[in-house]
Every structure is written in C-alpha cells, then in structure tokens.
Amino acid sequence: MTVKKIRTALISVFYKDNLEPIIDLLKEQGVKIYSTGGTQAFIEQQGATVIPVEELTGYPSIFGGRVKTLHPKIFGGILYRRNHQEDVVQAADYEIPAIDLVIVDLYPFEETVASGAAEGEVIEKIDIGGISLIRAAAKNFQDVVIVASKEQYGELKERLENNSGGTTLKDRRYFAAQAFKVSSHYDTHIFNYFNRQEAIPSLKISEIKSTGLRYGENPHQQAAFFGDLGEMFEQLNGKELSYNNLVDVDAAVSLIAEFEGQTAFAILKHTNACGVALGNSVAEAYEKAFAADTISAFGGVLITNQPVDLSAAEAMKGLFFEVLIAPSFSNEALQLLSTKKNRILLKQKIHPSTTKQVKTLLNGFVSQDQDLQTEGKDQFVVATKQKPTTEEMDAMEFALKVCKHTKSNTIVLSNKDQLFSSGVGQTSRVDALKQAIEKAHAFGFDLKGAVMASDAFFPFPDCVEIAGNAGITAVVQPGGSIKDQDSIAYCDAHGMSMVMTGVRHFKH
C-alpha cells in the first residue's frame, strides 16, 4: 500500500503527556510544525522549531482563546484534496499550505462536569476549534492523519517508524475512525449535560472504555463490557470476569446496598438470592445465608458489606463459588481464599451512581428509572385487626428488601435476619409460594412465626390461606387488588397480620 510522507503537522493539545517521542520523531523527519500557545512552548522546549499559528493566519488568538485556529488557512490546509486539481490551484492562489498531520485533543468537558464545577466553567470547556479540527482532518483521511487522543500517541509513533515517517491509507482511515469515536463521545456528554435540565426525549449513551469478555451468556455468543470496571472494583484474585459473572455481580451489589449499617451477607445464583442474612459478624451472616440453600450456593456469587476477616474466610473456604465481593479483605483472609487460583475476589470501591436502566427491546431500546425505592416500617400501613409485633415488622422489612431484588412472580419467606426461602420467576404467585414453602421445609426451616413478602398484590385470598396453613403469621404486600378485602378478611379470621406498602416491585 502506498505510503504518504508527512511533511507538515499542526499540533495543539490540552494533554501533553507522552508527546515528547512524537516531537522527536517529527523533528528527525524534518517535519514543519505549526502550533499554538502552551503547546508551542512545550514543543520548543523539546528543541523543535515551531511556526506559530498566528503567523500563518495573520490573526492573534482572540476572545480569550475562544478563536485560535478557526481560519481558512488552517482548515483549507487540512481539507483541500491533493488529487483534485481545482483544490490544488485554489490552495496555491490563496497561499494555503498543506497540513498532513493533525494532533489535537479536546478540553476536559466530561471531567469538569464530574468535578461539580459551576456552569460557567463547564461551558468554557466545550471545545470548538479542537472538535472542528478533528472532524476536518478525519473527513479528509485520504490525505491527512488525525490523532485525537493521547491514547493514540504510541500507535502513531509505531506506524511512522515502520513507514519512514509516512502513513498508508489504511493507517489514516483507522485514525479517522478513532477520531470520530472521540468526537461523538464528546458531543454525547455535552448533550447529556444540557439535557439534565431540558429533558429532551433522546437516548444518548457513549462509553469508550471496554473490556472483552470470554463469551456472552453462552459460549457461542460474543460479549464485551463497556464502562470502567476498575473504578468500581479491584480484582485481587481469580480468572477474568465473564458475562454471567457480571450480571450476577450487578444483582449482588444492588441487593447488598439495601442493608447499609448492618452486617449482611448474600449468596446469589442467576441474579436471585438463594441466601441472605444479617449477623454479628461476617462469618455468622455467611453461615446463616448458606443455610438457606446449601445446594444452590455451589458456584454462586457471594457478597458482604463488611470486611472479610480470617474467621469469615475459614467459614466459606470449603464452598466452591465463582465470585466474592467485599469492601476489603484482611491479609490472612486474602491469603487463604486465594489458594484457589480461579476464585474471583473483588474489592468493591464504590457503589454505582446510575439512576437509569436501558435495555434493547424489539427494534429499539427501553429506558426506565431504576427501582431505588424501598419501603421501610414507617411506610407500612396495617390493613388487619391483628397488628404485627415489633419482631414481625422487622422481619417484613427484611423480607421486602430481598423480595424487591428477586425475579417476578416472587414470594419471600424469612424472619427478621435470615432468608428461609423464596419462590422465584413463577408464572403464578401461588406456584411461587408453594415453591418457597417446599424449599424452606427441604432445608429444615420451621415456618411457624415466619413472615411472607410478595412483590405484587394478591388477586385472591389463596396465597394468604396457604401461607397461614404453613405457619406464617404476618404478610407484607403492595395491595391494590380489587379483592384486597378478601385477603384481609382471611387474615382477620385466622389471627394473621397484614401490612400494605402501596408500591409494587416487579422485576423481569
């Protein structure tokens, strides 16, 4: 493929990290360099000769630096087509020099927004000249190389070295694609900043960082994670996270966040909790969570909201599990748990701050607010003559937290600090209840005095009747059925208490 020699370059960057090797290479190749302001001073410090952009355009930097490179002699030099005779003639007539390489980045808009800066400062970080230069150079990739990010300096240097200071059309097209990735990402974040207030109905998502995954939900499906996993977790041991691991980790992180200020432990399988418990220590909470389903815990994802010490590590070391998430691990616990080389240990650094959920659906996308509402005892409305005891109120609050994070239709049975069982993902609420009761009995739990939580209302009194016959004494549900009174009447007739929250928690 034909190599096109670089003879002129325009360099104007905010970030100057690792730019030195590029300058040295251009200097060796005798490339004429145009630049501006701070970048010009930086390049001159490297011993290279620089022609100020003002000398080319005949205009100084004006309006507080808002206008520096927006000039026909700059954009003409980038955009004119070298194989188009009329363009070549016009460039000569107007003394417009060809610019073969453009290295430019953008003001840190995203970072400025994230810092909480005032709007005036944010607006000044909307790049005009830079974004225009990127688009112009990328459009004319037939003749021009565009490097729009410091992340690409190494690639540029390697390709220039391999081609004696030149590039191929394939190189230039690649860098153009990278440039449009940068510019589209930048514009997305600007729009989303303005749309916080304007609420224009439009879905704009852009994530540049990505992590390739071994495969998707199944081995024949390709997959990748887009986002910064390193911001959330430090992986201390184990193999690469898989697609299914990440889905379960997401569910686990959301569930454990419900128990802030308590020592909690949860075990999940296919995003549903098979064990959740509170304890005086992580070890105690783990043992209670594991007891809820000693079979499903095999190969599960484990999470706690407290540091894992040696006692906790010893309690769980015999279980085969895929992932353990905790805010920290003692050195002794880490050493013990790391004896299994594939066991994934994640130190959770932050909790996700996202408030929206997006998924593909049919030929488009659906977006909704995340379900961040959890009803506590203060929101419970007693619907029956029998009022719940203090312990039953605590138990229903616990059960409802678990229920909210379980696939519908779901029923959760528990006491105030331990999940006994749940019926998950059933097409009938009665089936979910029967599944939960059978499972609780299978693992040795006596349901006398237990509570029941439902993610949605009871359309008939059959569920409270089945629950009462199993020994359950208190029920929490959203209410809202036209036949609520039938369920309430059954409870009243059999000494059961029922509270309503007024909020449904379907999860599909």
- Residues serving a catalytic function are 139, 270
Token pair for 367: 């977006």
Of the candidates 408, 423, 340, which has an alpha carbon nearest to the alpha carbon of residue 371?
Answer: 408
Q: What residue type is 349 in one-letter code?
A: K
* Side-by-side strand order, sheet with 344-348: 233-237, 344-348, 321-326, 300-304, 264-269, 272-278
Q: What residue type is 289 in one-letter code?
A: A
Residue 341's Cβ-side half-sphere holds a number of Cα atoms within 13 Å equal to 0
* Side-by-side strand order, sheet with 32-35: 50-52, 32-35, 8-12, 101-104, 145-147
**Is there a contact between 253 and 303 (Cβ–Cβ < 8 Å)?**
yes
Angle at 464 between CA 458 and CA 467, to 5 degrees: 130
Of the candidates 344, 356, 372, 358, which has an alpha carbon nearest to the alpha carbon of residue 246?
Answer: 344
Angle at 204 between CA 201 and CA 209, to 5 degrees: 160
**Is there a contact between 272 and 422 (Cβ–Cβ < 8 Å)?**
yes
Which runs of E-coded beta strand occur in 169-320?
Answer: 210-212, 224-226, 233-237, 264-269, 272-278, 300-304
Residue 303's Cβ-side half-sphere holds a number of Cα atoms within 13 Å equal to 26
Residues facing residue 273 across a β-bridge: 268
What is the C-alpha to C-alpha distance for residues 293 and 442, in angstroms, rounded to an integer?
A: 9
Helix (H, G, I), strand (E, B) or coil at 218: coil
Residue 84's Cβ-side half-sphere holds a number of Cα atoms within 13 Å equal to 10
**Is there a contact between 187 and 107 (Cβ–Cβ < 8 Å)?**
no
Q: Name the one residue in this structure whose structure tokens are 């992180």.
A: 253
Q: Is 207 exposed, middle or buried (0-12, 13-18, 19+ CB in 10 A)?
A: exposed
The sign one gets for the Cα dihedral 290, 292, 294, 297 is negative
CA-only gyration radius of the chain, Å: 31
**Percent helix, strand and coil across the chain, each to the nearest 5:** 40, 20, 40
